[in-house]
Structure 1
């Protein structure tokens, strides 16, 4: 038996108003989480639910807590007896807990690698588990040892139930039909009770005689004699039913797809529909609890007369998320849904657009300091191309939908992009349209009559922008959309998102894990090979030329720190489809997705450390005209610099009071480097108040409208400071180029972002005779380990880390090294426990070794 793995402290408490500092990506909606839940059970005050991606929730009556058993497998079933809890899952997973609160879990060895869809314990010792390919397991010592009774058949078993040591039943699928079997000798042999025409997904017995099995198409079979005979009951639903629960008094419930809940009071002879507050598929019921897709938890206290949601938030499919600063954000979704937050995503309010059409994109850029102006676009409505606009933060929406003469059927609009005074939309069949008057009139730049669809759009300046779509399509404009020309890297890729950090550095991603990058404005594209993933990639974003993220299907999140040359996988904690990224600063971001998924990070998804430095109450008068400087002495913890290097910076101008900012140029200097932050903004006005300058913003400060309050992109990239020693004097210089307007510097600050470097240490004292890769040390490790190798000749060395499925996670070394002995430290703090591989390539030499991370 494997040793118990101690979980981390609960990271989120349901119904709690406390906000915990968290690392990596964590749930903001729904709460406590949004993964699918497959089973729930309750005993002596403890309720536990389990689901996809290793999800375990526990409650003792005061709310739900997320538990971590150290596995990412799907967890399908729970059985509770006394203080003992067992959970079965994919790949032969069996977990055990006996602390009475669901806190400490151990992994038991089952001897199989099949999906174990159901586990049932009769008492503390005797239990059974069944699953795919006719797998049947039994234990008589609480799971310390499991005997394999059957495996490797063609049928699949979904639930097992026992009344006593000898009498039990199971149900499942036999091809397109169902199967119900019975044993009278504790599972040694099984006989078919009936072969239904529909697959049977769940079963439950009230006692030795009365039982029900439920399945696809609303099928319900019931027995009154312990399974000797079964009869088909009328369920009054055609929805697939996934689970059933019977009480000894004859009352019972069955649940299934599209929120179906039906009730019986006569052991399943007759059934009536109960009102469900959710349209998500429901997977399990136990007593007065129901769970299902997208983290759905329902509860009743009156026998199902009323079912209430026992989770916070919403579970609609979200298509895009857009934050204009660290507090205010918006998200759009199917069915005309739009939500707004004013507290960084911790609570959301639904906005009324006035339409039930699917909305595919939303854009609220902070142009002119107006956080309340934005667009949302979506599904075609007959002749109309759907566009809505708001100028008051979504309080009211104006219908700016339009028709195109000669186009008999409108097509979907998939994306929108808002700039100062100009707004673009792109969509199906190659549609590109532009408005310069708030959507009252639309200039059709490309009719929706092309052989490709357009999904992504990004502008890097007022005139220069790109769109991307199917058939390898990338179009560029340098004339604000008046003309578009092709920059296709191929003619087959289905691109879903494009992003440029500046006029030269851009990235495009799409279906099948495709990733391209360019360093010359799109004239030449380099494909990432081999694929990091083959999942559909829906959104890409870069904070600067180096640091970027991608999100996509199956909960995929990728991160790069070298401009997209290499990517590593970040833990999302979900398998839900992820649709959109939005960052306000280098490490502060959000992701939207299916089932209402909203994830948030304050540290770039893990691995970033942030240090802030401030100077307040300066009241420093600005020379008029002339130069004014202020120095900040930065001292960073030496232990931090031993493991991290400076990877990004934000400058906070809070506050510069000046009556005409068009007079000003603002510079930042450190360690011999100078960056230009602001150069005489175009629009007249006064003051910088609460202004953050970061490469992560897409709103140029020089082109915006003062007063500057919010998050803006500086005149020149702050990435010039990446990698340098942050310690020492940082100088802010304010140059007033015109006389007649005076001002003061009241306060300013720096946010320094640190990431983990992988610096190679080399010993050239002797030249080895051959290549050799040594076993990492320590091994097992947590979280750092050293990898050493030697090489007899100069050459390009590539050292990469892979997971147990062979997926590339990160590149530690990719540089030319001289003959000698070398070593590098691998920091696995962002990865979960498990087996990993490191592979070194140098010329024709290739060597791979295994290592084990235990947290």
Structure 2
């Protein structure tokens, strides 16, 4: 099997393009771009692999200056409309004082162009945060302040072209004299169906009472609200804002009584509740070997995938065992009200005297959780660190073997500002790819480095549906709505069919109720549309499954997505049929029942997955599992079965991580699909 993502680094100096719309002559010091060519042009269509066998990673220096100064405190986002477009921001001292650097990439993070955000008001910038909206606009917030800290506030830059240029920043917060605003981060509501879609939120700590405050923008960074204090008590620091399912806004922070706290708003940030305790920690902040100042801040994200863990809230944080700091994880399944038991996610030996610290965490569009963290397991002296990564495909119940991302360990005692390496890092995931950014010392000073890692393999095309206001209970003759999403996961244009099937109670598979042929979709493009589905007045009551396919109708199913709904109420005398609006063209409805093998769910999975299939007639049926070598590893079904929808669960507890294929054979007809087991 060929090795995926084999990249060769070619240090070729090219003139960089400007990344700001306008700036002064002092600040327009255009940097050089260092591209890194790779050998696999279709790098989204690579061979699948388990997390336990990630390819060798390449580490790319993102900042291009040779000042010998420091770059740290990174944030990074992947463009939701173009997975090749990655933007990063960081604290940058290349001019000898505090500024904020920004870089963009259009090849998935293999090469970067970078510069410094211009000064339009107060001369010092620091503590950057980064967010994006569903249209692919990026928003970068910076702390702008006077060198004597007498005045401070926040400026928000916006880019509508993937980070290539940024307009004049909006003064989101002007600040108060002799009050210092600190540690701001920004979040955007990109939750499908949220009543507050597009809202921006900035949370920060106001010194010197160290309270948590928040502001919001409801018009895309044009104006911002007045500050609102949301922490019930002071002596707190390090707020992290996240928007979860249904547009609920969460902010978590660490208090100096050694607890992680959380508050939430269910009305778009207008009002907030009472602080909730997430967990106790050993300490809010301390120094570890090498004089590194570390914090037990909450790295937090929410599942808004529409999958089985939709609505879950996740927190990763550092905490001390008897001899060293480890990374722990907790989750909430009820909007942060209560939290489950902690799970240690770094997998080196317990109490080995090697520290892990400063995690970051994100959840992708498929509900897969990815965490990165600084890690000293390779240094017996507990000084040099690396970056490690781990992933969970089952809502945080189990985690993959930790993978080293850095190719060179860092000595944090290197000057200048030895030990002060910043407090957070950058991580974003999409289409099975993780992009990371961190503080790296391999050149003798602090630089911002990045890496691109394939964490699981996606299909060339993927289809998804996100129902509005689930669970759906629709009366006969009524309608329900959802968002239909079609994504091209490759760098090549694709053409596909899309069709909708129903599993009707007491009847079986019915449809297609919609069929669209030859939909064109560009490289790395995502098509998204609102859909309204009518339910006939004569529809049987009961539980239905609504299934969308993309591929070559009717036999080739590249990907599928489904959700359940329930039809209720008395018969209605109407002329409606199973008609629907929108998707990407006019629907052609007809009725058919054919052999059908659905995508297993969940996928990726650990360690059980369910396979559904439809038999149009009574048939002798075989369902077998094969590994990537073509060896049969399990037989799930080998018997005469009656016609109808079938479902079987494969327990893969005793199988190793990797790609498997399940093959359905009925008579002389067979169909095969691929699935990924992650442990």
TM range (shorter): 0.3 to 0.5
Task: Say which one has the larger Rg.
Answer: 1
Q: TM-score, normalised by structure 2?
A: 0.43
Q: TM-score, normalised by structure 1?
A: 0.35
